[in-house]
Chains A and B, each alone.
Chain A
Amino acid sequence: MATLHPRGPKPSRLTAGQIGLYTFLILSALFFLLPLYTMLVTSLKSMEEIRQGRIFALPDIVDFNAWKTAWSGACMGTQCLGVRIGFWNSVKITVPAVAISVLIGAINGYALSFWRPRGSNLLFGLLMAGGLIPYQIFLYPLVRLLANLSLYNSVAGVVLVHVIFGLPLVTLLFRNYFVAIPEELCKAARVDGAGFWRIFIEIMLPMSVPMIVVASIFQFTGIWNDFLIGLVFAGRDNLPMTVQLNNIVNTTMGERAYNVNMAATILTAVVPLAIYFFSGRWFLRGVAAGAVKG
């Protein structure tokens, strides 16, 4: 790796500065990659090999057993069903939560930017303030509220909480997107006799596909990676993958199966990583959109 020869257009010679630059970049890349590499090689080793303590060494014999165990046999307490339970729970939570929150975000953004009914500024201000407040202050009353609605410890309850806590960001994303669209478009449609919902479904929704993609990616990775809401609201049978993973790794009795733990960790990271790699620029746009929020 160190013998990389940069052949950029302008500097034809390899200057000291260039060597320093690439050395820095390569060392940084190694720092960022090392944890992932370590997990991967650990997951492919047998426990015997792990006990020898060479954490960064390549496996002597590549062994996929840990992956199999992680998926379908790892234990959480006395239950040994693997992370696939949590995986499917996460799917059941994330898919509807993303769909509903993005739809509501689009409706909110559209109503707030083109129609501005009475109180819209107040509502928008409330949402933005709400988005900054630590969840801890909402949790206990929300647990009681959901218990009264018989939604506590259910997938529907977690989905509802994700939708509610996602409102500030999705609303902001869509409002900013629609604000940039000329108002005349909406006015012209109104002159033609189209109503609130028809304009939304026939004009605004098709126009906002790029923002729908960005918001969906943002929400999907965020909800998949959530720990707190799943832990508090899902109940034993519906724990999302992140919570199940932590329970498997941090509460095991006896010797820890590090290889299984690392395989399980990778399995939990795989979905957001896949989204990151395959959506590329869209993910970046989502990150940037989330970052300008402050």
Chain B
Amino acid sequence: MQAKRRRPLAATFALLPTWIAAIFVYIGTMVWSVRLSFTDSTIFPSSNYVGFAQYAKLFRTSRWLASLENVLIFGVLYVAGCLALGFVLAAALDRKVRFESVFRTIFLYPYAMSFVVTGLIWQWMLNPTFGIQATVRALGWQSFVFDWIVNRDMAIYTVVFAGVWQGAGLVMVIALSGMRGIGEEQWKAAQIDGIPVWRIYTSIILPQLGPALAASGMLLSMGVIKTYDLIVAQTGGGPGYSTEVPAKFIMDNLFERQNLGLASAGATVLVLSVVMAVAPFRYALAMRARRRGAH
């Protein structure tokens, strides 16, 4: 009896550090930040409550609004681009090609590298003075213009390039392993019916990969909200605010511009947007699991 009571004690003890981290760091600091967002804190935290004033100010700040628009453009194109390119690459590799593992290695290696490295690589390639624009001009096409990275209207799309280059390989790996799990019978049946290969991939394979692709889309979307280092390394948020993102806005206001209250309001908005994005998805998953009786 005594021994039985002591065993769970060891288990509880073993989880203690994690409990402390969860309560003090995950919950405690979040509550602290949300509280700060309702104060007029600037350099130092203040306990002077101002209600939703910081939020009102936030949504009157053009730089914040620009950052929201940018992260939306970037997020949609980056996730869609990674999913589309990843799926097509996986389908191509699924056609029993030679040197499959070589191709696979090439398509995934960018994923192993940091966003800082990715951003710097693309900054260098897209540099109008030396990069692609200069190369094409040197080939004789003097009027060629590819200056997106220094163009206010186009700079955000160069970040999408870099992001898709970095992340498509992940989707490819997930899609390919899903395709390998699909039985030969389906292929044979479809081929007997005379369905062209591309139709098999779009109408038969793609729907079956839905959950796996949704999960990777979800993962990529979480990355979008956190996007910070890629922007810092590649464009620094410029030209102007044309590639500014919320995560960077918050960081700058926290540590450089000393706007604690405003930055905390921004962070709170970010967290709320994650909750709103994830909650329905989680709920759907939980409902489906319950219906299937898996849990």
> Contacts A134-B270, A167-B18 given: A21-B92 contact, CB under 8 Å?
yes
Query: Which residues in window 166-208 of B have CB below 8 A to A?
Result: 169-170, 173-174, 177, 197
Establish whether residues A134 and B24, one from each chain, have CB atoms under 8 Å apart when the complex forms.
no
B interface, size bucket: 35 or more
- Cβ–Cβ contact B26 & A227, under 8 A: no
Contact A246:B233 (CB < 8 A) given known A29-B106, A138-B26, A269-B114: yes
Knowing A7-B98, A138-B26, A242-B116 touch, does A291 contact B15 (C-beta < 8 A)? no
By a CB distance below 8 angstroms, the chain B residues around A137 are 29-30, 33-34, 264, 267-268, 270-271
In the complex, whether A14 has a CB less than 8 A from a CB of chain B is no
| The one of A127, A132, A224, A292 that contacts B114, using a Cβ cutoff of 8 Å | A224
Q: Is B117 an interface residue (CB 8 A)?
A: yes
In the complex, are the beta carbons of B173 and A35 less than 8 A apart? no
A28 to B247 CA separation, bound complex (whole angstroms):
31
Q: Please name 5 further chain A to chain B contacts, defined as beta carbons within 8 Å, in addition to the given A126-B27, A130-B26, A291-B170, sorted by A numbering.
A: A55-B131, A133-B274, A136-B247, A141-B33, A141-B36
Question: In the complex the two chains form, what is the Cα distance from A268 to B8 in whole Å?
Answer: 45
Asked if A118 meets B278 with Cβ closer than 8 Å, knowing A130-B26, A137-B268, the reply is no
> Given the known A-B contacts A38-B121, A138-B25, are A225 and B131 also in contact in the complex, defined by CB atoms under 8 Å?
no
C-alpha spacing A102/B228, complex, angstroms: 26
- Measured in the bound complex, the distance between the Cα atoms of B197 and A226 in whole Å is 42
Complex interface: stretch among B46-54, B55-63, B148-156, B249-257: B249-257
Set of chain A residues within 8 Å of B110, measured between Cβ atoms: 32, 35
Bound Cα distance from A129 to B6, whole angstroms: 30
List of A residues within 8 angstroms of B129 by Cβ: 53
Min C-beta distance of B64 to chain A, whole Å: 13
Say whether B11 contacts A38, CB under 8 Å: no
Question: Is B84 close to A, CB under 8 A?
Answer: no
Q: Are B21 and A164 in contact (CB under 8 A)?
A: yes
Interface CB pairs A-B, < 8 A, 20: A35-B125, A126-B27, A136-B270, A140-B33, A140-B260, A141-B33, A167-B18, A167-B22, A195-B7, A225-B116, A226-B114, A227-B229, A242-B117, A261-B124, A273-B112, A276-B109, A284-B173, A288-B174, A291-B174, A294-B215
Q: Interface residues, chain B, CB within 8 Å of chain A?
A: 6-8, 10-12, 14-15, 17-19, 21-22, 24-30, 32-34, 36, 88-89, 92-93, 95-98, 103, 105-117, 120-122, 124-125, 127, 129-132, 134-135, 138, 165, 169-170, 173-174, 177, 197, 215-216, 218-219, 222, 225-226, 228-229, 232-233, 236, 247, 250-251, 254-255, 260, 263-264, 266-268, 270-271, 274, 278
Option from A22, A56, A117, A226 in Cβ contact (under 8 Å) with B11: A117
Q: Does A64 contact B (CB under 8 A)?
A: no
Question: Does A96 belong to the interface (CB within 8 Å)?
Answer: no
Select from chain B the residue with minimum beta-carbon distance to A224. B114
Query: Do the beta carbons of B267 and A134 come within 8 Å of each other?
Result: yes
- Distance (Å) between the CB of B124 and the closest chain A CB? 7
> Given that A34-B125, A245-B116, A277-B105 are known contacts, is A134 also in contact with B247, CB under 8 Å in the complex?
yes
Task: Tell me which residues across on chain A come within 8 A of B127, comparing CB atoms.
Answer: 55
- Residues of chain A in range 99-134 having any CB-CB distance to chain B below 8 Å: 104, 107-108, 110-112, 115-120, 123, 126-127, 129-130, 132-134
Q: What is the interface of chain A, defined by CB distance below 8 A to chain B? A: 4, 6-10, 17, 21-22, 24-25, 28-29, 31-36, 38-39, 42, 50, 53-56, 104, 107-108, 110-112, 115-120, 123, 126-127, 129-130, 132-142, 145, 164, 167, 171, 190, 195-197, 221, 224-228, 232, 242-243, 245-246, 249-250, 258, 261-262, 265, 268-269, 272-273, 275-277, 283-284, 287-288, 290-294
Q: How far is the CB of B43 from chain A (nearest CB, A)?
A: 12
Q: Return chain B residues, CB-CB under 8 Å to A115.
A: 7-8, 11
Given A6-B98, A294-B215, answer yes or no on A25-B92 (Cβ-Cβ < 8 Å): yes
Q: Is the CB of A291 within 8 A of B124?
A: no
Please report the C-alpha to C-alpha distance between residue A171 and residue B111 in the assembled complex, in whole angstroms. 23
Complex CA–CA separation, A111 to B127 (angstroms): 53
| Residue in contact with B25 in the complex, picked from A142, A258, A265, CB distance below 8 Å | A142
Would you list the 9 A-B pairs with minimal beta carbon distance, nearest first?
A225-B114, A196-B10, A115-B11, A294-B218, A141-B29, A276-B112, A227-B229, A130-B26, A141-B32
